[in-house]
Amino acid sequence: MPLVTSKEMLLRAQQEGYAVGAFNANNMECVKAVIEAAEEEKAPVILQVSQGAIKYAGLEMAAAMVMTAARLSPVPVALHLDHGTSFEQNIQCLLAGFTSLMYDGSAEPLEKNIAVSARITEIAHLKKVPVECELGKIPKVEEFFGADEIIALSKEKDISKVVDVVRKKAGEKTEQLMADPAQAEEFVRRTSADSLAAAIGSIHAMWDDIQPIRIDRVKALRAATNIPLVLHGSSGVIRTRKDAQERGITLKENEGTLEDAVEAGVAKVNVATAINMAFLAASKKAFEKSPDERDIRKILLPGLQAAKDLVKSYMRLLGSSGRAQATAASGSAKAVAVHGEE
């Protein structure tokens, strides 16, 4: 079916209490893994083009892969720009047929973030394309740990010890960078953002799902604004309370898991690193098993399968499985209208 916008997809998720998974379109295998997962789960899905994918594949190539995959698929797919860096890049993506945009103004002073976000939404809305804007800043794991430390921590068996180290080294800074609920209403009103990427305690590109997030912030942000909330850095977030218990992670009063975040009103969940890691682990295993293999596809296929299995498990956890039909019914008419105007 034609691409749909993320607008109806996320509003529906917000209303019905589930979240839509957003996964990265890093290469053809990742796109196929996500689409096949969505088809098998009958789930609406967002395929996003990251800044890394733009550098790697080029904007047009990355977008074309998603557009083709979506056209050939019966499930609703939105093509999203992830962490858009500027007004110009957002407009470039709008013209290229993206059905969901993002401006990440988190490195800018608040007033500039608001001004650029508002300029983008003003234009994108003329084409009925929604825009995600960022309040607060979701840090990257490299801001706290060097490559050797990450390797050492990822090998540590005592997860509660690892969680303590992360709390000590990253806790204070991550908290300072969180979205301020007191600013959210004004931010959303002045930017006309369609969804809010809010920093709520997660860290981008974690090696394991061990990080709690601040559920009190999710609730306060939900109370301050009625647009869908987006969780970034979800690879590192503990999935469920059962997982936390089994892995010896103690949650504080105001903390929660991915499952809690969805229950509290997060409607879009971005997962990238965990999918890459699952892909690489399976391909590495295949390569170690057949080091003389000369067909690249035989090494990549197990990676695709592992990525697909993980995407499916996220879709079930987020509650988006089985929601494709209802989303298609509400979203496709709008998407056609967008392209019909061109």
Element (H, E) at 135: strand 131-135
Among ligand G3H, Zn ion, none, partner that 222 touches (CB below 5 to 8 angstroms by kind) = none
Q: What is the nearest approach in angstroms of ligand G3H to the Cβ of residue 241? A: 20
Residue from 202, 87, 192, 76 nearest 136 by CA = 202
Q: What CA–CA distance (Å, rounded) separates 260 from 301?
A: 34
| Tokens linked to 58 | 């080029």
Rg over CA atoms, the chain: 19
Among Zn ion, ligand G3H, none, partner that 191 touches (CB below 5 to 8 angstroms by kind) = none
E strand residue ranges, 206-337: 213-214, 229-231, 255-256, 266-271
Q: Which residues bind ligand G3H (CB under 6 A)?
A: 82-83, 204-206, 232-236, 270-274
Q: What is the nearest approach in angstroms of ligand G3H to the Cβ of residue 326? A: 26
Q: What sign has the CA pseudo-torsion 62, 64, 67, 70?
A: negative
Q: Nearer to ligand G3H by C-beta: 270 or 320?
A: 270
Among ligand G3H, Zn ion, none, partner that 236 touches (CB below 5 to 8 angstroms by kind) = ligand G3H
Q: What is the nearest approach in angstroms of Zn ion to the Cβ of residue 322? A: 26
| Tokens linked to 239 | 């999935």
Q: Nearer to ligand G3H by C-beta: 121 or 270?
A: 270
Among ligand G3H, Zn ion, none, partner that 76 touches (CB below 5 to 8 angstroms by kind) = none
Chain residue at closest Cβ approach to Zn ion: 232
Q: Which residues bind Zn ion (CB under 5 A)?
A: 232
Q: What is the nearest approach in angstroms of ligand G3H to the Cβ of residue 295? A: 29
Instruction: Give the 3-state secondary structure of residue 17.
Output: coil
Q: Nearer to Zn ion by C-beta: 214 or 232?
A: 232
E strand residue ranges, the chain: 20-24, 45-49, 77-81, 101-103, 131-135, 195-198, 213-214, 229-231, 255-256, 266-271
According to DSSP, the β-strands at 45-49 and 229-231 are unpaired
Q: Nearer to ligand G3H by C-beta: 28 or 205?
A: 205
**82, 194, 208, 260: which one is catalytic?**
82
Q: What CA–CA distance (Å, rounded) separates 45 from 60?
A: 20
Among ligand G3H, Zn ion, none, partner that 217 touches (CB below 5 to 8 angstroms by kind) = none
C-alpha distance from residue 34 to each of 248, 259, 275, 276 (Å): 31, 21, 10, 12
Q: Nearer to ligand G3H by C-beta: 45 or 338?
A: 45
Among Zn ion, ligand G3H, none, partner that 63 touches (CB below 5 to 8 angstroms by kind) = none
Residue type, 227: I
Is 209 known to be catalytic?
A: no
Q: What is the DSSP string of 246-266?
A: HTTPPPPTTEE-HHHHHHHTE
Q: What is the nearest approach in angstroms of ligand G3H to the Cβ of residue 169? A: 17
| Tokens linked to 215 | 């559920």
Q: What is the nearest approach in angstroms of Zn ion to the Cβ of residue 315? A: 19
Q: Nearer to Zn ion by C-beta: 188 or 197?
A: 197
Active site residues: 82
